[in-house]
């Protein structure tokens, strides 16, 4: 049954056998064509001329599609309509799609691509947010949140510090690259199998580009080989392109990006250049905080405005600051449009206040821990966006972590080690995390579930949830198994399909299990009510004495003869519906953008991590000795899955902060364009020890079965890795000038170790 201790991600069985299906595994129709995208070889310029003749003449090339072949709108922008599917007269980033080459094989299409001649008159290239700001190149108007009165706040401060920070982008590096397979159905209808987090976005955008009604486009998703936000918006163009070719050719078309194309053409986590001003009282209370975040949005809006907003929501992390003023500016540059990435702007905001605290601690001569601890969020504190903090676990997770893991002893160990060693130094940092759960755009917080009980008692469930390794399908099965009290093997989760569950929000914002789980729960409960009624008539007892347990009907706690399967056939004979469709919309949440105030989050997730590192001071390399976490799962419904989410997110956060270095040259060309030049954490670089203790809490009613969202929050524990390394550097080199420029790569560590030193 659905025992939460023993439940595994049920996808793991087909994963380890290599039987799990991805887009590239779809059985393709005979005669399917293969497509490759021709993209801009310059970051900014006027297209003067393109010669496709040699490519078109190549044997096996079917056709090359450009914007001229678009029957509807050449527009794929979501929040702001500022992004063409294919470039027309201008290119705005290196890797911007210009044409789709369709051929009999992918090899031929690729060869054809190399035969295209393009002449671009180059225009000035902007690669950083600061350059964009200087030139007045923006996506939209800036946004600001404020609380209290920062002027008065700073006037009352004993200490005031200002500084600058930078955090770089991050490549999603989902194992399964972007891709889609489109096939023609009758009457000009198109079915798309897509590796997308947002099937409805694919459907809607395809309909818009083709100039057809949405009902003509069906999108189906079995699962993704990872998304991490990279497939929330940016799975769409490839699906639309494949559908466009299918529409014209009346033949199936497969378009799967290879890794190089994917790295070059897709956006990443947004780099941020930020400035801050922090003011503290003598007793280390943060009385005022100001920050300006320059977001490098890339060449089009994509999800940037929503991501910018979440930066503001999380700008004070787990701290209560009475006077806050934060502004975010989405800067338009000539990079691929940057996009959603686990944390969605939140991590970028948190890095800045943690930097401000580290700087203040250094200048005042206290530990960052003292400042962090003095300012943790309390029950009924107000966030800068007006929401009142409830069921706050900031202090609880912090105190649990520092007590259970004995922070004094850990700090002493680090100090002793550093006294005894001159060529290796240890550093320790604490990282508290507070993350709001819900799409910040309130209207997106809804989902539906369609539940069928089949004649034989087996159950099929369709929701809007996209399985991408996070185990959401297993959680949906647990819910149905629990409500019906039948073995989990009787339940199947269907593919995510726009004809079964329509008008969906993407699987994102850590909210997929909550939203779709609540809808599933509602549908299952409605069916259960109906079944109980049939059982009560059959057993001639009153309905409220009836319970379903272990595959049987129980009456007043006593097992009856009536089994689940018999009950189902009796229900069918009585012509009672065995199907239910339920809709769930998160209650209580609202947000007023004209005031920048409201209650946007259903609840918050809290936690605290203690990270310890050892730096090799001759080489600049480092290892993470341990990460000790106290995390707020609520009441986890699937402990193994949730632990997996914490561990994976932590590794991804550490990677972002310490080793993954995206590099573009001044011409806007991606230099970190392969796994030889872009380093993600591997088995050797993940922490030697990761311990996670669940904080003991009641859980939250808006979380599915009180089991809180777990996808994104733990990523931000990784921010502590930056400061742990910095503390180790300080132990080696007292003259080191604190820098807040992530990632802290070994190269930077080495330079910092010998910063201002006469060697
Ligand atoms: N996607 C989105 C997200 O569209 N809105 C959000 O608030 C969000 N938050 C986190 C991750 N993805
Ligand atoms: Mo997201 S960053 O697609 O939850």
pLDDT band at 759 (very low <50, low <70, confident <90, very high): low
Per the CB < 8 A criterion, the answer to whether 472 and 512 are in contact is yes
User: What is the whole-number distance in angstroms between the Cα of residue 309 and the centre of ligand 1?
Assistant: 10
Q: Is residue 709 part of a domain?
A: yes
Same domain, 632 and 512: no
Examine the pLDDT at 519 and tell me if it is beyond 60: yes
Q: Is 204 in the pocket of ligand 2 (CB under 6 A)?
A: no
Residues 411 and 539 in one domain: no
Report whether residue 426 contacts ligand 1, using a CB cutoff of 6 Å. no
Gap from CA of 344 to ligand 1 centroid (Å): 6
508 lines ligand 1 (CB under 6 A): yes
Share of the chain above pLDDT 70, in %: 99
Query: Quick one: which ligand is closest to 309's CA?
Result: 1
Say which residues have a Cβ less than 8 Å from residue 183's Cβ, sequence separation at least 6. Answer: 29, 190, 191, 192, 193, 246, 252
Please tell me whether residues 197 and 221 are part of one structural domain.
yes
Same domain, 342 and 457: no
Q: Residue 4 and residue 641: Cα distance in Å, rounded?
A: 10
Same domain? For 90 and 232 the reply is yes
Indicate whether residue 262 lines ligand 2 (CB < 6 A).
no
Show Cβ contacts of residue 419 under 8 Å, excluding neighbours closer than 6 positions: none
Q: Which residue among 556, 585, 614 closes a domain?
A: 585
pLDDT in tens, 223-263: 999 999 999 999 999 999 999 999 999 999 999 999 999 99
Q: What is the DSSP letter of 422?
A: S
Instruction: Please list, residue by residue across 156-181, b when 16 or more beta carbons sit within 10 angstroms of its beta carbon and e when fewer do.
Output: ebeeebebebbbbbbbbbbebbbbbb
Pick from 196, 506, 508 the residue to mutate for probing ligand 1's pocket: most ligand atoms within 8 Å of its CB.
508
Number of structural domains (the chain) is 3
Q: How far is the CA of 509 from the centre of ligand 1 (A)?
A: 4
- Find the angle CA(230)-CA(232)-CA(238) to the nearest 5 degrees: 80
Residue 221: pLDDT above 60? Answer: yes
CB 678 within 8 A of CB 661: yes
* Cα 200 to middle of ligand 2, angstroms: 15
Q: Are residues 112 and 241 in the same domain?
A: yes
- The 10 Å CB-count burial string (b at 16+, else e) for 546-583 is bbbeebbbbbeeeebebebeebbebbeeeeeebebbbe
Q: Are residues 601 and 736 in the same domain?
A: yes
- What gap in Å lies between CA 501 and CA 603, rounded to an integer? 26
469 Cα to the center of ligand 2, angstroms: 13
Type and span of the H or E element at 117: strand 117-122
Q: Which helix (H) or strand (E) holds 450?
A: strand 446-453
- Rounded Cα gap, residues 426 and 11, in angstroms: 40
Within 10 angstroms of residue 331's Cβ, the number of other Cβ atoms is 31
Nearest CA to ligand 2 atom 4: 508
Q: Residue 174: CB within 6 Å of ligand 2?
A: no
**H-helix segments, 554-658:** 564-573, 639-658
Asked whether residue 707 is domain-assigned, the answer is yes
Single out the residue in 207, 224, 256 at which a domain terminates: 256
Q: Whose CA is nearest to atom 7 of ligand 1?
A: 439
Alpha-carbon gap, residue 268 to 266, rounded angstroms: 7
pLDDT number for residue 6: 67
Reply yes or no on whether the pLDDT at 2 is more than 90.
no
Give the whole-angstrom CA distance, residue 114 versus residue 103.
14
**Residues 28-85 pLDDT 10s:** 999 999 999 999 999 999 999 999 999 999 999 999 999 999 999 999 999 999 999 9
> Ligand 1 atom 8: the closest Cα is on which residue?
509
In the DSSP assignment, the letter for residue 389 is: P
582 lines ligand 1 (CB under 6 A): no
Chain segment 268-289, per-residue pLDDT in tens: 999 999 999 999 999 999 999 9
Whether 712 sits among the annotated catalytic residues: the reply is yes
- 341 CA from centroid of ligand 2 (Å): 5
- Same-domain status, 609 and 737: yes
The confidence score (pLDDT) of residue 756 equals: 84
* 349 inside domain: yes
Q: 110-162, pLDDT tens digit by residue?
A: 999 999 999 999 999 999 999 999 999 999 999 999 999 999 999 999 999 99
Nearest CA to ligand 2 atom 3: 229
Pair 86, 39 in one domain: yes
Ordered strands of the 424-437 beta sheet: 424-437, 603-616, 622-631, 690-694
The answer as to whether 395 is a domain residue is yes
Residue 183 lies in a domain: no
Q: Are residues 204 and 342 in the same domain?
A: no
Which ligand number lies closest to the CA of residue 342?
A: 2
Q: Which atom of ligand 2 is nearest to the CA of 509?
A: 4
The three state secondary structure string of 258-307 is CHHHHHHHCCCCCCEEEEEEEEECCCCCEEEEEEEEEEEEECCCCCHHHH
Residue 40 sits in a domain whose CATH number is 3.90.1170.50
Region 384-410: what's the mean pLDDT?
Answer: 98
Q: Is 513 in the pocket of ligand 2 (CB under 6 A)?
A: no
| pLDDT > 70? residue 106 | yes
Determine the Cα–Cα distance for residues 692 and 700; give it in Å rounded to an integer.
20
The Cβ of residue 185 has, within 10 Å, a number of other Cβ atoms equal to: 12
CA distances from residue 464 to 23, 252, 587, 704 in whole angstroms, order as listed: 18, 25, 19, 15
Q: Determine the structural domain holding residue 521 and report its residue range.
A: 446-585
Is 359 in the same domain as 460? Answer: no
Tokens of 104: 């009999």
Which residue of the set 393, 467, 661, 712 is catalytic?
A: 712
Domain endpoint, select from 256, 284, 304: 256
CB 197 near ligand 2, within 6 Å: yes
Distance 439 CA to ligand 2 centre (A): 10
In a domain, 162, yes or no: no
**At 621, which CATH number?**
3.30.365.10
Q: Is the pLDDT of residue 576 over 50?
A: yes
Which of 266, 307, 340, 648 most suits a substitution to test ligand 2, by most atoms within 8 Å of the C-beta? 340
- Nearest CA, atom 9, ligand 1: 509
- The confidence score (pLDDT) of residue 4 equals 59
Q: Is the CB of 231 under 6 A from ligand 1?
A: no
The order of strands in the sheet holding 446-453 is: 491-493, 459-463, 446-453, 579-585
Could you tell me if residue 733 is inside a domain? yes
Q: Are strands 590-592 and 579-585 parallel, antiparallel or unpaired?
A: unpaired
Cα of 116 from ligand 1 centre, angstroms: 38
Residue percentage of the chain with pLDDT more than 90: 97
pLDDT of 184 strictly over 90: yes
232 close to ligand 2 (CB < 6 Angstrom): yes
pLDDT given for residue 757 in this prediction: 78
pLDDT for residue 1 is more than 50: no
Q: Is the CB of 229 under 6 A from ligand 2?
A: yes
Ligand 2 pocket check: which of 466, 508, 514, 714 to mutate, most ligand atoms within 8 Å of Cβ? 508
CA terminus-to-terminus distance, the chain? 65
| Cβ–ligand 1 contact at 605 (below 6 Å) | no
Ligand 2 centre distance from Cα of residue 508 (Å): 4
* Rounded Cα gap, residues 330 and 296, in angstroms: 6
Q: Per-residue pLDDT tens for 696-751?
A: 888 899 999 999 999 999 999 999 999 999 999 999 999 999 999 999 999 999 99
Are residues 450 and 426 located together in one domain of the fold? no
Residue 613 lies in a domain: yes
Hey, is 216 helix, strand or coil? helix
Query: From atom 12 of ligand 1, which residue's Cα is the shortest distance away?
Result: 509
| Whether the CB of 310 sits within 6 Å of ligand 1 | yes
- Report the distance separating Cα 539 and Cα 566, nearest Å: 12
Tokens of 229: 């936000």
Query: Dihedrals φ, ψ of 84, to 5°?
Result: -75, 155
Give the distance (Å) from ligand 1 centre to CA of residue 712.
10
From the number of C-beta atoms within 10 Å of its C-beta (0-12, 13-18, 19+), residue 669 rates as: middle
Buried b (16+ CB within 10 A) or exposed e, 81-101: ebbbbbbeeebbbbbbbbbbb
Residue 692, both tokens: 């996670």
Q: Is 170 in the pocket of ligand 2 (CB under 6 A)?
A: no
- Locus of tokens 């209808």: 189
């Amino acid at each position: 049954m659905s025992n939460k201790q023993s439940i595994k991600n049920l996808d793991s069985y087909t994963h380890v056998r290599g039987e799990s299906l991805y887009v590239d595994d779809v059985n393709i129709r005979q005669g399917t064509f293969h497509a490759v995208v021709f993209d801009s070889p310059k970051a900014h310029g006027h297209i003067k001329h393109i010669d496709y003749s040699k490519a078109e003449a190549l044997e096996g090339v079917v056709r090359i599609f450009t914007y001229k072949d678009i029957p509807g709108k050449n527009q794929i922008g979501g929040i702001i309509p500022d992004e063409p599917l294919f470039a027309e007269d201008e290119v705005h980033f290196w890797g911007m799609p210009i044409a789709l080459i369709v051929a009999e094989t992918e090899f031929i299409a690729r060869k054809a691509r190399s035969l295209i001649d393009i002449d671009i008159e180059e225009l000035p290239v902007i690669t950083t947010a600061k350059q964009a700001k200087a030139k007045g190149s923006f996506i939209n108007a800036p946004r600001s949140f404020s609380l209290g009165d920062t002027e008065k706040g700073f006037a009352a401060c004993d200490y005031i510090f200002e500084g600058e920070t930078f955090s770089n982008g991050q490549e999603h590096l989902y194992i399964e690259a972007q891709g889609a397979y489109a096939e023609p159905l009758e009457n000009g209808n198109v079915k798309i199998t897509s590796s997308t987090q947002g099937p409805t976005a694919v459907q809607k955008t395809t309909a818009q580009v083709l100039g057809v009604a949405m009902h003509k486009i069906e999108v189906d998703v079995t699962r993704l080989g990872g998304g991490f936000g990279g497939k929330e918006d940016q799975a769409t163009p490839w699906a639309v392109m494949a559908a466009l070719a299918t529409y014209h050719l009346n033949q199936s078309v497969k378009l799967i990006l290879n890794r190089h194309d994917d790295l070059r053409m897709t956006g990443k986590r947004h780099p941020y250049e930020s400035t801050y001003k922090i003011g503290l009282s003598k007793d280390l209370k943060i009385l005022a905080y100001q920050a300006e975040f320059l977001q490098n949005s890339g060449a089009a809006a994509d999800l940037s405005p929503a991501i910018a907003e979440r930066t503001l929501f999380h700008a004070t992390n787990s701290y209560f600051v009475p006077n806050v003023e934060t502004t975010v500016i989405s800067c338009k540059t000539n990079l691929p449009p940057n996009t959603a990435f686990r944390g969605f702007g939140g991590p970028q905001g948190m890095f800045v206040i943690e930097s401000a605290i580290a700087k203040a601690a250094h200048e005042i001569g206290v530990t960052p821990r003292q400042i962090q601890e003095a300012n943790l969020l309390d029950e009924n504190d107000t966030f800068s966006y007006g929401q009142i903090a409830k069921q706050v676990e900031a202090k609880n997770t912090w105190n649990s972590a520092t007590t259970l893991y004995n922070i004094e002893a850990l700090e002493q160990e680090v100090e002793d080690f550093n006294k005894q060693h001159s060529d290796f130094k240890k550093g320790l940092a604490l990282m508290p995390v507070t993350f709001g759960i819900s799409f910040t755009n309130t209207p997106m917080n809804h989902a539906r579930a369609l539940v069928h009980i089949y004649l034989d008692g087996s159950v099929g469930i369709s929701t809007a949830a996209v399985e991408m390794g996070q185990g959401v399908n297993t959680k949906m099965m647990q819910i149905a198994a629990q409500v019906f009290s039948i073995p989990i093997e009787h339940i199947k989760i269907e593919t995510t399909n726009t004809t079964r569950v329509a008008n969906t929000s993407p699987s994102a914002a850590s909210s997929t299990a909550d939203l779709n789980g609540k809808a599933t729960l509602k549908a299952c409960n409605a069916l259960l009510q109906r079944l109980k009624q049939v059982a009560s008539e059959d057993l001639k007892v009153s309905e409220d004495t009836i319970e379903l347990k272990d595959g049987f009907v129980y009456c007043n706690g006593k097992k009856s003869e009536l089994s689940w399967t018999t009950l189902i056939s009796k229900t069918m004979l009585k012509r009672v519906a065995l199907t239910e469709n339920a809709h769930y919309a998160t209650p209580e949440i609202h947000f007023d953008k004209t005031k920048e105030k409201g209650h946007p989050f259903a609840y918050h997730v809290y936690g605290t991590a203690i990270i310890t590192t050892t730096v090799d001071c001759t080489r600049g390399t480092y290892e993470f000795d341990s990460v000790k976490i106290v995390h707020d799962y609520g009441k986890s419904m699937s402990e193994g899955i949730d632990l997996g989410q914490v561990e994976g997110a932590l590794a991804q956060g550490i990677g972002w902060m310490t080793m993954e270095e995206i590099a573009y040259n001044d011409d806007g060309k991606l230099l970190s364009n392969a796994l030889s030049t872009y380093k993600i954490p591997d088995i050797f670089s993940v922490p030697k020890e990761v311990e996670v203790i669940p904080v003991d809490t009641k859980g939250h009613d808006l979380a599915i079965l009180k089991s809180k969202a777990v996808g994104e929050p733990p990523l931000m524990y990784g921010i502590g890795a930056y400061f742990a390394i910095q503390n180790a550097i300080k132990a080696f080199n007292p003259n080191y000038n604190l820098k807040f420029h992530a990632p802290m790569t070994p190269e930077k560590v080495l330079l910092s170790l010998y910063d201002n030193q006469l060697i």
